[in-house]
Amino acid sequence: MNSKLFQQIRILDPVSNTDTIADVLIIDSKIAAVETQISEFPTKTEIQNSHGLILGPGLVDLYSHSGEPGFEERETIESLIQAATAGGFTRLAILPDTFPPVDNPAGLARLQNLAKNYAPTPIFYYWGAITQGLQGEQMTELGELAATGVVGFADGLPLQNLGLLRRVLEYLKPLNKPLALCCNNSRLAGKGVMREGYDSIRLGLPGVPTMAETSALAAVLELVDAIGTPVHIMRVSTARSVELIRVAKSRGLPITASTTWMHLLLDTQAIDGKYTLNSPFLPYDPNLRLDPPLGNISDRLALIEGIKDGVLDVVAIDHTPYSYEEKTVAFSEAPTGAIGLEIALPLLWQNLVETQELSAMDLWRVLSTNPAKCLGVNLGAIVPNKAADVTLFAPQKTWQVDRQTLKSRSTNTPWLEKQIVGRVLTLTFTE
């Protein structure tokens, strides 16, 4: 029997909307008791004074990237599992942009077989490709993929062909599988590499106008309004997009929406080397080149407000590993994306919860129960006789982010070689 007693731990449970201090007894990976004070427990129970620690439902990432198969130098399934576990994620949904992509049942089976070789946690979910080869030109066999176990459909790239998108929405309506779309008009975006505005002019970098995202989003919302197929809007990054989604939700459109964790923390000033709540970044750090690009200050504040009032349902990690060689180039030439599974919760907690910009419950909700709902999964409350699908977090523990401490095979993050506060702890048990 494996047994552990957490004494006086803070329980954050968005399922029951509970934020309280209590004792929690876990036996054989199952919650045995949750009480103000537990005095009866097995004789070999490991007892931990948990003052200052937090226990919440396991974190769920709605979309991230795997290197394997095809790009093992970036990330393997094994290193992805280790990174997710180290970051507190018990469930992880993977986008289909592997090589070959997950655009047919054989590609899905290949990825599923790779994951079977490792521990049962985190639980993996797989997005199936919307279009063949992720090229945005021809639909995949959506019905076949739906029948073989994909959680939903997402290219992870904008669909520029609205006629094709219309047909996709029509075909998917009876399949009862979520569709995740990111919105960007490539012609309006042009060759921009950061959000258009004062900072892009000052830094001499070509800008991506807000309308590149919002015009594409408006078109998607019109199609959803006409056809009625539920859609998840990925990677929302502008204040105007939040406004459009707020109006669409008020009209009853069947949509959910997410932003990514870095868009909540950083804006265009970070590219200049400014980061007010920690040591400064390197100017023009290629790890700050993202897709969509970091917004202006007004965009970041609107995203935070969108989380607070429920317009944005989810904070996704969008963990995007690249090798050192791929990212060690000029900012405008760098591929877009950064890793985040291991550091997202600590940095969000320190910079948003500790500063009282977000409540602890709001943050945990958009990182756990809300993304689970988007995947069609209902996380159980932290109550007796439930599986211990939980994350243990030490919000005041300081550690150094470096190549030795990171479990991810890639280290493309602007926080590399920096100290951060807050760390997920391993749930260990004694015989």
Give me the sign of the Cα torsion angle 247, 15, 56, 83.
negative
Average pLDDT, the chain: 95
pLDDT computed for residue 372 by the predictor:
97
Tokens, residue 334: 């760098």
Report whether pLDDT(430) > 80.
Answer: no
pLDDT band at 117 (very low <50, low <70, confident <90, very high): confident
318 is catalytic: yes
- As a whole number, mean pLDDT of residues 271-285 equals 79
Q: What is the mean pLDDT of residues 167-183?
A: 95
Reported confidence tier of residue 431, pLDDT bands at 50, 70, 90: very low
**For residues 113, 116, 122 and 125, what is the CA-based torsion angle, rounded to 10 degrees?**
30
Which residue out of 103, 318, 362, 389 is catalytically annotated?
A: 318
- 297, pLDDT greater than 80: yes
Residues 6+ apart with CB under 8 A from 33: 23, 24, 25, 41, 384
Q: What is the pTM of this model?
A: 0.96
Quick one: average pLDDT of 299-321? Answer: 98
Mean pLDDT confidence for 196-206 = 96
Residue 107 has pLDDT above 90, yes or no: yes
pLDDT value of residue 214:
98
Instruction: Average the pLDDT over each of 55-64, 114-123, 310-319 and give the range with the smallest value.
Output: 114-123
